[in-house]
Amino acid sequence: MKQVKITLLGTGTSQGVPMIGCDCIVCWSKDKKDKRLRSSVLIEHNGTSVVIDTGPDFRYQMLRAGVRNLDGVLITHEHYDHLAGLDDIRAFNRIRKSPMDVFAERLVLNRVEQELDYALGDRKFPGLPSIEMIEINEHDNFYVRDMEFTPLRTLHHQLPVLGFRTGDFAYITDTNFIPQETFEKLKGVKVFVLNALRVEPHISHFNLEQAVEVMRRINPERGIFTHMSHQIGLHSEVNKTLPAGMELGYDGLEIVL
Question: What is the pLDDT, as a whole number, of residue 2?
Answer: 73
Q: How far apart are CA 196 and CA 210, in angstroms?
A: 8
- Which of 130, 169, 160 has its CA nearest to residue 52? 169
Q: What is the pLDDT of residues 21-64, one digit of tens each?
A: 999 999 999 999 999 999 999 999 999 999 999 999 999 999 99
* Cis before 220? omega within 30: no
Question: What is the pLDDT, as a whole number, of residue 127?
Answer: 85
Q: What is the mean pLDDT of residues 229-254?
A: 98
Question: What is the pLDDT, as a whole number, of residue 173?
Answer: 97
**What whole-number percentage of the chain has pLDDT above 70?**
99
Q: How far apart are CA 234 and CA 214, in angstroms?
A: 22
pTM: 0.96
CATH number listed for the domain at residues 4-256: 3.60.15.10
Residue 121 scores a pLDDT above 90 = no
